[in-house]
Structure 1
Amino acid sequence: MIPGMHVEFPNAAARLPAPTANVLLAGFAREGVIVVIGNALIAVALTAAGVHERFIDNLVFSQAIGLSIMLLLDVARFFLQRHNALTGPRLALAMVLAIVLGASLGRGIASVVLGIGLHNAFATKDLALTGWIALTATLLVTWYGWSRTRIAELSEQVARTAWQKEAAERTALSARLQALQAQIEPHFLFNTLATLDSLIASDPPRARELLASLNRFLRATLEASRAQSETLAVQFKVLDSMLAVHAMRIGPRLAYALDLPHDCADLPVPPMLLQPLVENALKHGIQGALEGGRIDVAARRDGDHVELSVTDTGPGFGATPGTQGAGVGLVNVRERLAALYGEQAALTLIENVPHGLVARVRLPLPLRDTVGASVQESRS
């Protein structure tokens, strides 16, 4: 005679999403199985205690009464939920009514099934025993239902806290990515403007050429800072304009070349991914050397990956052995790769023989869905 087990309390239910029909049916079926098993155990206990002589009689009475109470309690609870009126006192009243009416209805049904007269089914002694058993079972099930609801409530709070933490981390990551994408080296701008100022008086044609290259670079950088992804062709075009500006400012001390195969041109990559690597090569590999040097930027397919490399002919690891690979630009690139690709992407630094450094980025293919989904998730 176990009453309804699908007990929900208003505080927890108000915060949980409305269950679908399949969820309700599954919960009702699970509840019915548990009630049937519990009723069978009660029938075994009653038979062992000498209540009725036959086990089948106790089983029929137990199942009829328990299922009747469960059905009435579920109907009452569903009605209260539909009218948004499920409160603690109303739920307690529904339980009392379900026990009284369910016990009476169940005893009547069992009497009809077993062919026992109804006057015998409602004897005072039998009603009292049924009431005590139903009350005890109801209290046990109510405690069980409250425990389940409390556990669900605590689990929901933990899940909500974890979701809020994850959302905050995604927001911070999105802001960090946007800041990285929009970052322009201030010294680069100041030095370029100073060079432009000197060229206006000494070499106006070169000044106009430098201004045109700077304009292309700033325009492309601004567009890239607003994009979720860009093709390698666009990114190499930005790098070409940036290196052209540096070449005019530094002069013959800087030589550079870009190698973008046709089969890599349309591959989408995170915006401004290679720019920090090129700036690092300029700062540590070229500008610090009196004789200057060369920078090569290349892309190539390698199976289900694409490899991007920035090679310089500077002093390499020997220049700053304690800080090599720990610069802000390199750290930012590693953070972006980890955020967008996890362990599927990597940035490695190797020695360039006979001198210099190679910064190599390895990205998974296909990239279009990976980059778009990952960046969109970081901004959602």
Structure 2
Amino acid sequence: MKIDWIDKLRRGLQTIAFCLAIASIQYAFRPDHPFEPPLVYSLCIGICTWSFIDFGSQLFPSAQISGWPTGLAGKLLPVAGIALGYLVGTSLADWYFGWSSFANASRQQLILSGLISAIVGVVVTYYFFTQGKNTLLEKQIGEATRLATDARLKLLETQLEPHMLFNTLANLRVLIGVDPQRAQDMLDRMVAYLRATLAASRASNHPLEREFDRLRDYLELMSVRMGPRMRYTLDLPADLANLNVPALLLQPLVENSIKHGLEPKLEGGSITVRAQRAGSTLTLLVSDTGVGFDAQTALTDGFGLVQVRERLAAAYGEKGSVERNSTPGQGTTVLLHLPTNTNTA
């Protein structure tokens, strides 16, 4: 079994702290005696007991939930460790001072000393046991939370993909009857887009550069249908290209811009998608020059914006936010604020 030396060091230092506290308590009750003897005996007995129990636990199969040996070994290990720790620790301290506690101390003193060591050993062992159990449980909770978040993001992505696909197929069906050549071009674009989408769907997040590549495929697909009525600009600074973001984060916003902004406007308009960073915050902007919304309509989120809010909440919690501004006749702007120092994997 692999030994976690950092964890061992942490428990060893905690044991030393317990020993110093016990020695200080003993000295407080007998201030007329030197501090060195209780300090040395406490350290020797405590460190030996901890070593026998902590390293001894590595020799037996352990329960996954507690990290403690199972069966009879788990019950006998503390008893044997405390007894051996007391005997070996006392012998080491005797050797340091050049006397023999077992030979010179009275029976009552030996019983009292052993009883104190046993009580302290049980308390400290139980403390380490519960601490280790809590640590493992926290790790399991964190792993479960991560898996639940990944599952939620995947679910949201499967909801968004059909939403876009059905809209595109409906448009393609109409176009086949009126302009077969444009329909063929649109179908080729859709195949290229779906291939890129399939590759991206294997991960819950990907570099921002790949997100912009998918947007370019999608916007080219929409350009076949809308022609000169739609223009677009994608602005991604090179230093932001490798930042990770949830997959399929921006497309529903672009789709909203086309469906609710540009399509209802006779002359169409333009869409701008831009990434910029200020300190530790990444801001993603999706803006259109479409019909816009009035104040009352702007208060209600559509399907795409609801999904984006949920994806940000699942990936970043309260650190991610969405801001939308719209002016009737002038267009709509959506700003996504994401932390750049958080891994969404």
- TM-score normalised by structure 1 residue count: 0.65
The structure 1 residue matched to 2:103, chosen from 122, 128, 134, is: 122
**Which residue identity is paired with 2:130?**
R
- Confirm or deny that 1:215 pairs with 2:200: no
> What residue identity is the alignment partner of 2:187?
L
CA distance in 2 between counterparts of 1:26 and 1:270 reads 37
Q: Which has the larger radius of gyration?
A: 1
Contact 1:260-1:300 within 8 A present in 2 as well: yes
The aligned counterpart of 2:16 is 32
Partner of 1:73: 49
Aligned to 2:76: 89
* Residue of structure 2 equivalent to 1:19: 4
- 2:304 paired with 1:329: yes
Query: How many aligned residue pairs are there?
Result: 319
Q: Equivalent residue of 2:287, what SS?
A: strand
The residue that corresponds to 1:134 in the other structure is: 114
Q: Is the 2:257–2:271 contact (alpha carbons within 8 Å) kept by the matching residues of 1?
A: no
Q: CA deviation at 1:150?
A: 2.1
Q: Does 1:297 align with 2:271?
A: yes
Q: Does the 8 Å contact 1:103/1:131 carry over to 2?
A: no
Report the Cα distance in structure 2 between the residues aligned to 1:327 and 1:97, rounded to whole angstroms: 70
Measured in 2, the distance between the counterparts of 1:60 and 1:263 equals: 66
Rate the CA distance shift 1:129–1:183 in 2: closer, same or farther, 3 A: same
The CA distance in 1 between the partners of 2:198 and 2:323, in whole Å, is 21
Asked if structure 1 preserves the Cα contact closer than 8 Å seen for 2:45 and 2:86, the reply is: yes
Q: Deviations over 1:1-49 (max 9, x none)?
A: xxxxxxxxxxxxx9xx8430x543454354335424523542553577x
1:205-228, CA deviations, whole angstroms, 9 ceiling, x for partnerless residues?
A: x31232222321342244135323
Report the CA distance between 1:92 and its aligned residue: 0.9
Q: Say whether the 8 Å CA contact 1:182–1:222 is kept in structure 2.
A: no
Contact 1:231 1:267 in 2 (8 A): no
Q: Does 1:317 align with 2:293?
A: yes
3-state secondary structure, aligned to 1:184: helix
Unmatched runs of 5 consecutive residues or more in structure 2: 61-68, 201-205
SS across alignment from 2:293: helix
Identity across the alignment (%): 16
* Range with greater deviation from structure 2 (97-106 or 148-157): 97-106
Paired residues of 1:307 and 1:363 also in contact (CA < 8 A): no
Question: Aligned partners of 2:251, 2:36: CA distance in 1, in Å?
Answer: 80
The CA RMSD measured in Å over matched residues stands at 4.2
Over 3 Å counting, the alpha-carbon distance change for 1:287 and 1:88 in structure 2 is: same
Per-residue Cα deviation, 1:320-349 (whole angstroms, up to 9, x for no partner): 945764110222234445556765664423
| Gapped regions of structure 1 (runs ≥ 5) | 1-13, 49-54, 200-205, 248-253
What's the CA shift for 1:302? 6.5
The more displaced of 167-176 and 154-163 is 154-163
Q: Which amino acid aligns with 2:286?
A: L
Tell me the CA shift for residue 102 of structure 1: 4.7
